[in-house]
Structure 1
Amino acid sequence: MTTTDQAADANVSPSQDAFLAAQASPEFAQLRKTLTRFVFPMTVFFLLWYFTYVILGAFAHDFMGTPVWGNINVGLLLGLLQFVTTFGITFLYVRFAGRDLDPKAEVVRDNFANGTYAREAGEIA
């Protein structure tokens, strides 16, 4: 990169004001709302599921030790389901992000690239 390119990049890079303008924008607010709509319920679900498993392991020894097949018991199955749940949530998040988050993030990214937020911050006339 030449000195001229570096100077041009310095003129185009958004300042703190541009980032604050982006954060205050309706596009960014919608992006955060969409993310929150997925993350909070999924976090609550997983924590409830995890703590249920831990509590059962601590207090329901007979139930967790119930044989299902050979040496496989309920506790082992529920423990393995913790991993399955983690992979399932990851799969759902990737699908959700591709469908709902990425298009909204692209709008915010494009607004940075074309200087919309810099103009809103009063950096570009």
Structure 2
Amino acid sequence: MQKIRGLRLAIGTCIVAVSMNAWSQGDQASGAAAAPAGASAMVASSAAPAATGRKADRALRKKIYAAISKHKEISAGDISVTAKNGAVTLNGTAADTAQVAKVAEIAGGVAGVTSVNNKLTVGKPAFGTQ
């Protein structure tokens, strides 16, 4: 029984070592920096791009909000913008259908936007007034 456990442990260790070596070589071939000795290859290679992507997404959201706020006829307070790698999603409400289309048009015109998913709806008037 002890021999079987030892054999399983040895095989598992070899598989992990080979996997990490192959994964590390794949990163070096793509031009990524090599991980320092003793560091986890997964943590070293994935931490920097994720932070850069989130930073770019936040900057794109700010550009879109700024572009929308230049149009005084649009109330941007009920509109939320999410961005991921240039793909933008608009959520919330607008006063009428013309504003829904206008906000999508404005967002699509911002540099860095690759696509716009318009989920805006027309808001209902407060207290049933029209």
- Settle same-fold status: TM greater than 0.5: no
Normalised by the length of structure 2, the TM-score is 0.29
Query: More relative contact order in 1 or in 2 (CA 8 Å, sep 6+)?
Result: 1
Normalised by the length of structure 1, the TM-score is 0.30
